[in-house]
Amino acid sequence: MTPDINKLNQNKTPTLCSISSLLLFPNTSVSEGNTKANHLFLFFSFSQHLAMFAEENGLRGDPRLQAISQAIRVVPHFPKQGIMFQDITTLLLDHKAFKDTVDIFVDRYRDMHISVVAGIEARGFMFGPAIALGIGAKFVPLRKPRKLPGEVISEKYALEYGTDCLELHVGAVQPGERAIVIDDLVATGGTLSAGVKLLERVGAEVVECACVIGVPEVKGQCRLIGKPLYVLVEPRQADKCC
């Protein structure tokens, strides 16, 4: 049974949800953390498939993971007070760390017979095309409304306040194609789940979702409407927070 969000909002004690929210929103109060964490609770409480962190899935001690993590800049209080923004643009500036990021994903997917790499707008576009080239697949962008010029299908998903939407070009993916969905960071998984639904609506088989960064609470429990999740590193904390 799905929990009542209004009842969850009344909870003033720290929970697993508020802890994960405070990781990304460390300067909020506990009650604010619980409010921001409602979607995390809904997402992580009904797990059927494991979320796999690379370090615990064959890459323990791999120096590439530490280098990737260190290449990600943390920007405190962006885009608003309390958020520890994980800036992957600095990762893109480090050609070796960027290549290592792509190589890890390519090594994982090259023998899975993937024909579609779907990237979530916008930062999924930074990793998806390189991964697609590396495994011999096509790259398919999943875009925000009114960005794709052709005929599209749409899928709405919930945000903390309100909704958003992803769109896919009709004909970009064929029935029976095997796909992965790529984004830079997963916290609640709503955007990834919308991407999965879009692909499945056109008959694709979504094999897995993948992100560079994932909150620690996804370890061992992740819903993503029944799809496994592969994550490289956890979010970094700022060295100095002003």
Q: Is 160 a catalytic residue?
A: yes
- Which residue in the list 56, 60, 64, 123 is annotated as catalytic? 123
Q: Is 234 a catalytic residue?
A: no
3-state SS, 32-63, equals HHHHHCHHHHHHHCCCCECEEEHHHCCCCCCH
> Are 161 and 139 spatial neighbours (Cβ–Cβ below 8 Å)?
no
Q: What is the DSSP string of 150-182?
A: S-EEEEEEE-SSSEEEEEEETTSS-TT-EEEEE
> Are 229 and 209 spatial neighbours (Cβ–Cβ below 8 Å)?
yes
Report the distance separating Cα 85 and Cα 73, nearest Å.
Answer: 8
- Which residue in the list 56, 73, 151, 160 is annotated as catalytic? 160
Enter the DSSP assignment of 235.
Answer: P
Catalogue the active-site residues. 123, 160
